[in-house]
Structures are given as C-alpha cells and as structure tokens.
Amino acid sequence: MEARAIAAIILAPFALAFVYAAVHEFLRYKSDGRANYGLVYDEENGTTHVSGIADDEEAYDPDDFDPSSYQNPNVRQDVDTKDGQTIGLGR
C-alpha cells in the first residue's frame, strides 16, 4: 500500500471528527447565539468539565479550589485509634 493511502486512512477519522464538531458547533451557534464556555465544578463527584456558562455565572477558578475540603461519600469517615495508631480507614 502506498504511504499516502496509509496516511489518509490514519488521518481520516480525526478529520471527520473535527468536521463533525465544527458542524455541530455552527448549528448550535445559529440556534442559540454566542456561547461562553468555561470550567464547571461538579460537587457531587469532585470533578471538573468544560461546559457552557450562563452570562450571569462565573467560571470555576482552579486557584480557589482546596482539594482537602472534598468529602468522598464512598469513603468511611470514622477513624478508630489504638495506642496512637490510626486503624480502620477506608471501607
């Protein structure tokens, strides 16, 4: 197989995904107008993702985030101590 054909086969899925995203964004722009994208914090699972933000809301600022304040609901919070050693962390 020729090198150009192999390169086209490898690059075609990426080019198609880019064209699909561009068309999708253009159609969204035509129906909704200009959008403001930014980082959004999900308090339920402690993650962030990029999403559309309303004009009256502020984007999430990672510099203001303190990861030590996140409480994972799947981790047991009670701690047993015996002779100054911590035991029983986790599930």
Mean pLDDT of 79-84: 54
Phi, psi of 21 (to 5 degrees): -65, -40
Three-state secondary structure call for residue 63: helix
What local confidence, expressed as pLDDT, does residue 19 receive?
A: 98
pLDDT surpasses 70 at 22:
yes
In order, the DSSP letters of 7-67 are HHHHHHHHHHHHHHHHHHHHHHHHHH----EEEEEETTTTEEEEEE--TTSPPP-GGG--G
Report how far residue 83's alpha carbon sits from residue 16's, in angstroms, rounded to the nearest whole number: 63
Task: Report yes or no: 79 and 91 within 8 Å, Cβ to Cβ.
Answer: no
1 versus 84: which is more confidently predicted?
1
Mean pLDDT over each residue of the chain, to the nearest integer: 76
Report how far residue 45's alpha carbon sits from residue 48's, in angstroms, rounded to the nearest whole number: 9
Q: What is the pLDDT of residues 42-63, one digit of tens each?
A: 777 778 878 777 777 776 666 7
Q: What is the pLDDT of residues 64-79, one digit of tens each?
A: 666 566 566 565 555 5
